[in-house]
Amino acid sequence: MLLALQSLTKTFVGMKALDEVDFELASGEVHALLGENGAGKSTLIKCLTGVYRRDAGSILLDGRDISPDSTSRAQALGIGTVYQEVNLLPNLTVAQNLTFGHEPRRFGIISPRAQRRRAAQMLEGYGLDIDLDRDLGSYSVAVQQLVAIARAVELSGRVLILDEPTASLDDREVQMLFAVVRRLRDRGLGIIFVSHFLDQVYALCDRITVLRNGCRIVTERSDSLDRVRLIEHMLGRELAAQEESEKRHRRSAPLAGEPLLSFAGVGRRGFVEPFDLEVQRGEVIGMSGLLGSGRTETAELMFGIRRMHSGTVSDAEGDLRLNNPRDAIAAGFGFAPEDRKTDGIIADLSIRDNIVLAMQARRGWLRRVPRAEQKRLAADYIERLDIRTSGPEKAVGELSGGNQQKVVLARWLAMNPRFLVLDEPTRGIDVGAHAEILQLVRELTARGMAVLVISSELDELIAVSDRVIVLRDRRQVARLSGSDITLENVVHAIAASDEHREVSA
């Protein structure tokens, strides 16, 4: 075995990111590493590349125990990595990037000619015909990706980790990349391939390992693991559990009457394909799909974070203008983003400040929310949402993930929106808070608010939604409602490969 991880464990403050994970990689193999956000993929990779130090377990390369403590050490040991965000320097030329740190020199002076020759040698066999003296940044991501691979292979040459390399490539570029990867595999490299494009995984990989919540769920040959089972592994819960969720009582029919909001032909080129959606008062719309299917992008479009290129949004009163978040908030929208830390909370400010922020921004700086009102709001929501804190003046950054999420929710509830978008509202939250937030969603809709929930946890989505929309490749591929909302139907809609798309849609 080329590379073997045994009982690898890594803990961050209170969270087990990796829990006794085993993983093996043979030379001449492409091994897919799959899992949703937070499953532990990136932690595993960072342990391999020396960004993190593991807490327990061992990493064996050619049977020898290694503990890389920096990227360059990992490289020297033979483990090279290429990330989705190309980790090369866009401001250096292609040749400089390829030879960085190993420039051919005479008397300490770099010879540009030798440097170019060396770079050209490194790129041989990659099918690239590019000007080595141009800035790397002036080339497409695909080219940068290949250059990064060439550098990683040259420097390490044993194990190559490709972390979401195809996320921003088009079909032709993907084929180009795959040709290179297959050639490297045939040369005897062991390749770890991380991707959320299942078609690509099946096209390229020999074996598949699935991680979920920091645990290894399964490792199997890709030709014996069918797509539906794979998605079950990734999203959790075996189909057996489905019956129970089917028994859940569903509201009889969608509420009749005028829709609260209608999105018609809303889309943005290269971001989200145009879609139609009518939102009824008091309903929960679930949005499902794998990472990269356009879930978050759809929410960003709805909330005015990105401008739509086409389509209209209207309510009973007429058309709405949604050019920025302020417009969306004025229209009665709210949005709790997926990445709470960077997009949601203002970490150094108090719970009280965070809760009143949206309301305050809406009122304008001159009309301050009176202090008494602020305190009342904070106390109210701390109690209603059961935010665990020593008091309303505590900085939000010091709270646990679940309580931070509740603060963000409180911020929007204080605005009393008519349409609330929750992107992965339960990610990284402990089980108790999890249930509370789902309960809250139901309470809100009972009072007429419409909620769009984006989640990669299928059973939760199925439990809470009145309708489920399934996205794949940035377009809506299925809409399920009533008794059609079953785990099986959702999984099949996600899993359907291109040929079957029409059938399931």
Partner 1 sequence: MRNPRLYPLLATIAIFIIAYAICYLQFPYILSTRVAGNLLTDNAYLGIVAVGMTIVILSGGIDLSVGSVIAFSGVFIAVMLRDSGLHPLAVFALLLVITTAFGAAMGWLIYRLAMPAFIVTLAGMFLVRGVAYMMSIDSIPIDHPFFTSLQRVYWLMPGKGRLTLIGVVMLLAFVVGHIIAHRTRFGANVFALGGGEQTARLMGSRVGRTTVMIYAFSGLMAGLGGIVFALYTGSGYPLATVGTELTAIATVVIGGTLLTGGAGYVFGTLFGVLTMGLIQTYIVFDGTLSSWWTRIAIGVLLLAFIVLQKGLLRLTTARSAA
Partner 2 sequence: MPAAVKRILPQLITLLGVMVLVSLVFPDFLSIDYSDGRLVGPVIDVLKRGAPVALLAVGMTLVVATGGIDLSVGTLMAITGAVAAAAIVAGHGLVLAIVLALAAGLCAGGFSGFLVAVVGIQPIVATLILMISGRGIAQLITEGRILTFNMPGFAFLGSGTLLGVPVPVWIWLAVTALAIVIVRRTALGLLIESVGINRRASALAGVNARVILIAVYMASGLCAALAGIITTADIRGADANNAGLWLELDAILATVLGGNSLRGGRFSISAAVIGALIIQTINTGILLAGFPSEYNLVIKAVLVILILVVQSPSLAGDLKRLGSQLSRRAPRRSAKAAPQRSDR
Nearer to partner 2, 107 or 365 (CB): 365
Site string for partner 1, 270-309 (x = CB under 8 A): x---------------------------------------
Q: Tell me which residue of 165, 450, 464, 435 sits closest to 288, measured CA to CA.
A: 464
Please, what is the minimum distance in Å from the beta carbon of residue 178 to partner 2? 32
Instruction: Enumerate binding residues for partner 2 (CB under 8 A).
Output: 70, 303, 305, 324-326, 329, 335, 337, 342-349, 353, 356-358, 360-369, 411
Residue 361 within binding range of partner 1, rule CB under 8 A: no
Query: How many CB atoms sit inside 10 A of residue 92's CB?
Result: 15
87 binds, among partner 1, partner 2, none (CB under 5 to 8 A by kind): partner 1
Please, what is the minimum distance in Å from the beta carbon of residue 346 to partner 2? 5
Nearer to partner 2, 316 or 361 (CB): 361
List 96, 195, 288, 489, residue binding partner 1 (CB under 8 A): 96
- The residue with tokens 């194990």 is 159
Q: Residues 6 or more apart from 313 whose CB is under 8 A from it?
A: 261, 262, 263, 264, 266, 302, 319, 320, 322, 331
The three-state secondary structure class of 399 is coil
Please, what is the minimum distance in Å from the beta carbon of residue 186 to partner 1? 27
Q: How far apart are CA 457 and CA 462, in angstroms?
A: 9
Token digits of residue 346:
């203002």
List 131, 244, 443, 488, residue binding partner 1 (CB under 8 A): 131
Residue 345 exposure: Cα atoms within 13 Å on the Cβ side: 24
270 binds, among partner 1, partner 2, none (CB under 5 to 8 A by kind): partner 1
Residue 45 within binding range of partner 1, rule CB under 8 A: no
Please, what is the minimum distance in Å from the beta carbon of residue 111 to partner 2? 32
Please, what is the minimum distance in Å from the beta carbon of residue 112 to partner 1? 8
The sign of the dihedral angle between the CA atoms of 36, 38, 41, 42 is positive
Token digits of residue 45:
């990779």
Q: How far apart are CA 106 and CA 129, in angstroms?
A: 28
Please, what is the minimum distance in Å from the beta carbon of residue 404 to partner 2? 11
Residue 110 within binding range of partner 1, rule CB under 8 A: yes
Query: How many whole angstroms from its chain centre is CA 155?
Result: 30
Query: How many CB atoms sit inside 10 A of residue 30's CB?
Result: 23
Q: Cα torsion at 11, 17, 18, 24 (round to 10°)?
A: -130
List 88, 128, 358, 399, residue binding partner 1 (CB under 8 A): 88
Residue 12 within binding range of partner 1, rule CB under 8 A: no
Nearer to partner 2, 74 or 208 (CB): 74
141 binds, among partner 1, partner 2, none (CB under 5 to 8 A by kind): partner 1
365 binds, among partner 2, partner 1, none (CB under 5 to 8 A by kind): partner 2
Q: 112-123 vs 141-155: helix axis angle to the nearest 10? A: 100
Please, which of residues 255-274 interact with partner 1 by CB under 8 A? Answer: 270
